[in-house]
A and B are shown apart, each in its own frame.
Chain A
C-alpha cells in the first residue's frame, strides 16, 4: 500500500517540525522562541531554510544542532529591529497631550521603553519629554533582547537619509522646536545630542524569561507583542502589570490590544485609538 500525505497532515507535519526545531534550539542554545507567533516565525524559518540551500525545516534543525554559525544566522533572521523616530505621529501626539500631563504630577518619572530596538523610540520620547520640561526628572529604562540593537541605541547615531521623514513625523507629533537642533550631521550620520540620553539606562532584558526590575509610571512597548503568541502575550502583560505603579500607563503599538487578554479588566483606556491604557488601581 502506498503511503500518501494528505494536505491536513502536511500542515500538521510542518507544525511538528517547527516545534521540534524550537525545542532543540531552546535545549541546545537556551534561546526560547517556543511561544512566538507561528505565522511570522514560520516565514523567517523558511527564509533560513532556503538561505542555507536546504529543503525542509527538519534539515535546518540538523544543521543548527551541529553548526553554531547556522544558529547565528538564524538569530539574525529572527531579530526584527524595524523602527523609526516618532513612528505613528498621532501616538506621540497623544503621549504629549494626554499622558505627559499625568506624568507631570509625579516628582520623579520612570519610563520603561521595552523592546526599544535601535533606539529611535527612546530619542523620540526624550525629545518630547524635554520639550514638555519633564526630561530632567525622568529616567528612561531602555531594554531589548538584542545586544547589537542596544549598542546602536547607545550610540544615538541614526542614518541621515531618514531625517526628512523624521522631521515631518516630529512636527505632526506636536514637536515645538526645530528638529535639526537635536542632532548634528556627520557625513551620512545624524548624531543626536548626548544630553537627551543622559537619563537613560540601557540594559539587555528578555521579556520572556526576565522578571520585573522596577516600577514605572509609563511603559511603552510597541510592535513587540505582535511577535508573540497569545500565551506569551499574557505572560508579558502580567509582567507589565507587576511593573506599573498604581494608575500606571501602558502604551502599546497601533494594532496591539489588551482587549482579548485576561488582563483587560485591570486597565481602562486612556487614549483608546492609540492603544494607551491606564491601570484602574
Chain B
C-alpha cells in the first residue's frame, strides 16, 4: 500500500481538544506532514496556535504561510480568515469566499489534498456541528486516499462525523484515541519516508 505523506485534519465544534489528542499520539519522528483546518473566528483571537503549541505535541506546529514548504513531521494550521490548500509539497492560501460560512473550510483543504496527493493523502474528520469536510473526504477517498472519521457516538458533536460517514461510507471509523496510532501506521517509518 502507498505510504501516506499528507494527513489532513478537519475539525469544528470541540475540535481543539480532539486535535490535541490526535497530535499528542504522533512521535517526533512522524514522517508525514499534517495540515489542519479548524473552524475559528475570523479575527483569529482564539489563541488556537498558542494552545496547540502548549500541548505536548512532539512536532513543530506553525500557522501556514503562503507557499511554505510542507516538510515531513511539520504540523501546519490554517490561519484565521484564510482557506488553506496544498499543492505539490507547498501550502497555498486563498481568501475566496467562505464555503458553508467557513473560512478556513475543510472541504477546500481536503479537495486540494485529494487533487495534489491522491492516494498519498489521508483525511480525518473530527468533531463538529455542521457538514463541512463531508464532500472533501469523499474526494480524498475517490482518489484512492485514506478516509478516517471520528466515531460520531464518541465525538463531542456528532453532526460533522456523521455527515462525513454518509458521504464516505467506506471510511474507517475510529475512537479519538485510536486515530493517532492509525496515522502512525499509515505514514510508515522515517526509513520508509527516505526511500
Q: Which residues of A contact B (CB under 8 A)?
A: 7-8, 10-11, 14, 37-40, 42-44, 80, 82, 223, 225-227, 230, 233, 253-257, 259-260
> How many angstroms between the C-alpha atoms of A194 and B85 in the bound complex?
39
Contact across chains for A11 and B118 when beta carbons are under 8 A apart? yes
Given A10-B118, A11-B118, A40 and B96 contact (CB-CB distance below 8 Å): yes
Name the one of B82, B111, B144 contacting A7, with C-beta atoms under 8 angstroms.
Answer: B144
**Interface 0/1 of B165-182, CB less than 8 Å to A:** 000000000000000000
Given A37-B87, A82-B95, A260 and B67 contact (CB-CB distance below 8 Å): yes
> How many angstroms between the C-alpha atoms of A226 and B68 in the bound complex?
11
Contact across chains for B87 and A255 when beta carbons are under 8 A apart? no
Name the one of B66, B69, B116 contacting A256, with C-beta atoms under 8 angstroms.
Answer: B66
Contact across chains for B143 and A10 when beta carbons are under 8 A apart? yes
> How many angstroms between the C-alpha atoms of A133 and B108 in the bound complex?
44
Residues of B within 8 A of A255 (CB): 63-66, 79, 82, 93
> How many angstroms between the C-alpha atoms of A173 and B31 in the bound complex?
42
Q: Within 8 Å of chain A (Cβ to Cβ): is B119?
A: yes
Q: Within 8 Å of chain A (Cβ to Cβ): is B86?
A: yes
Q: Within 8 Å of chain A (Cβ to Cβ): is B12?
A: no
> How many angstroms between the C-alpha atoms of A115 and B67 in the bound complex?
19
For A88, the closest partner residue in chain B by CB is B81
Residues of A within 8 A of B96 (CB): 40, 43-44, 80, 82
Residues of A within 8 A of B94 (CB): 37, 39-40, 80, 226-227
Q: Which residues of B contact A (CB under 8 A)?
A: 63-69, 79, 82, 85-88, 90, 92-97, 108, 111-112, 115-116, 118-119, 143-144
Residues of A within 8 A of B116 (CB): 11, 39
Shortest Cβ distance from residue B79 to the other chain A in the assembled complex, whole angstroms = 5
For A252, the closest partner residue in chain B by CB is B66
Residues of B within 8 A of A8 (CB): 118
Main secondary structure, interface of A, reads helix
Contact across chains for A223 and B143 when beta carbons are under 8 A apart? no
A–B pairs, 11, beta carbons within 8 Å: A11-B116, A37-B87, A37-B94, A39-B86, A39-B116, A40-B85, A80-B97, A223-B95, A226-B93, A227-B94, A256-B65
> How many angstroms between the C-alpha atoms of A43 and B108 in the bound complex?
8
Name the one of B63, B85, B118, B143 contacting A39, with C-beta atoms under 8 angstroms.
Answer: B85
Given A39-B86, A80-B96, A226 and B66 contact (CB-CB distance below 8 Å): yes
Shortest Cβ distance from residue B91 to the other chain A in the assembled complex, whole angstroms = 9
Shortest Cβ distance from residue A38 to the other chain B in the assembled complex, whole angstroms = 5
Residues of A within 8 A of B95 (CB): 80, 82, 223, 226
Given A7-B119, A7-B144, A80-B94, A43 and B66 contact (CB-CB distance below 8 Å): no
For A261, the closest partner residue in chain B by CB is B67
Name the one of B67, B79, B92, B97 contacting A254, with C-beta atoms under 8 angstroms.
Answer: B79
Name the one of B64, B79, B92, B144 contacting A37, with C-beta atoms under 8 angstroms.
Answer: B92
Given A11-B118, A14-B115, A226-B95, A257 and B66 contact (CB-CB distance below 8 Å): yes
> How many angstroms between the C-alpha atoms of A37 and B86 in the bound complex?
10
